[in-house]
C-alpha cells in the first residue's frame, strides 16, 4: 500500500497491533472518551477480510486512522462500505491527512466491488459533518432511529 498521499512525508498503511496504544491515545484526544477496550476488541478478533483499518504515519508517528468494513443487506440495503471511525491529530487537521485516509479507504472499498459508502455522524458534530461533506458525502436515504433502554 505505501504512501498514497500527495504529501511525501505521509504514509497510509494497514493498522498493526503495534499501533494500538497510539490509536487509543489519538481517539481519546479527539473524541474526549477513553475507549481502550473497544479498540483492543477490534484487534482481538481475527481481522475479517471485509474490515479495513488504516493509519496515517508522518515522521514515524501515527497521526490519524480510519476504520470500516464492507457490510451487506442489513434492512434490505445493498452491499456498501461503512466507515466506523476517523481521527486525525488536531494539529494536522488542515494538512489533508483525513482526506488521504478517506481516499484510501474508498479506493479499497471500490476494489472490493462496493459502489456506495455510508457512515453515522452525530447531528451536532459540526467538524465531522463538515469533513464528510467536503469529501462529497451527502445525507442518504436511511434514517437512524434509537430508543433509550433505561
What dihedral angle (degrees, nearest 10) is formed by the CA atoms of 38, 43, 48, 51?
60
**33 is a domain residue:** yes
Q: How many C-beta atoms lie closer than 10 Å to residue 138's C-beta?
A: 6
Q: How many C-beta atoms lie closer than 10 Å to residue 114's C-beta?
A: 19
3-class state of residue 130 by DSSP: helix
- What secondary structure letter does DSSP report for 3? -
**144 is a domain residue:** no
* pLDDT on residue 80: 92
**146 is a domain residue:** no
**41 is a domain residue:** yes
**142 is a domain residue:** no
**148 is a domain residue:** no
* pLDDT on residue 145: 82
The CATH number for 14's domain is 3.40.630.30
Is the model's pLDDT at 6 over the cut of 60? Answer: no
Is the model's pLDDT at 41 over the cut of 90? Answer: no
Q: What is the pLDDT of residues 105-122, one digit of tens each?
A: 999 999 999 999 999 998
Domain span holding position 105: 10-134
Is the model's pLDDT at 23 over the cut of 90? Answer: yes
| Pairing assessment for the beta strands 61-71 and 10-14 based on DSSP bridges | unpaired
* Average per-residue pLDDT for the chain: 89
* pLDDT on residue 45: 63
Domains held by the chain: number: 1
Is the model's pLDDT at 8 over the cut of 80? Answer: no
Per-residue burial over 77-99, b = 16 or more CB atoms within 10 Å of its CB, e = otherwise: eeebbbbebbbbbeebeebbbbe
The rounded distance, in Å, linking the Cα atoms of 131 and 150 is 33
**50 is a domain residue:** yes
**22 is a domain residue:** yes
* pLDDT on residue 46: 58
Residue owning grid cell 473497544: 38
Amino acid at each position: 500500500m505505501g504512501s498514497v498521499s500527495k504529501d511525501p512525508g505521509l504514509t497510509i498503511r494497514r493498522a498493526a497491533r503495534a499501533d494500538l496504544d497510539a490509536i487509543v491515545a489519538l481517539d481519546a484526544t479527539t473524541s474526549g472518551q477513553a475507549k481502550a477496550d473497544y479498540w483492543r476488541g477490534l484487534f482481538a478478533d481475527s481481522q475479517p477480510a471485509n474490515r479495513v483499518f488504516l493509519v496515517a504515519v508522518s515522521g514515524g508517528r501515527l497521526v490519524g486512522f480510519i476504520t470500516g468494513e464492507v457490510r451487506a443487506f442489513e434492512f434490505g440495503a445493498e452491499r456498501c462500505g461503512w466507515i466506523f471511525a476517523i481521527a486525525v491529530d488536531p494539529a494536522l487537521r488542515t494538512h489533508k491527512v483525513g482526506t488521504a485516509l478517506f481516499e484510501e479507504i474508498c479506493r479499497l472499498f471500490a476494489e472490493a466491488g462496493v459502489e456506495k459508502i455510508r457512515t453515522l455522524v452525530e447531528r451536532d458534530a459540526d467538524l465531522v459533518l463538515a469533513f464528510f461533506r467536503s469529501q462529497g458525502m451527502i445525507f442518504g436515504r436511511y434514517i437512524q432511529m434509537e430508543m433509550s433502554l433505561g
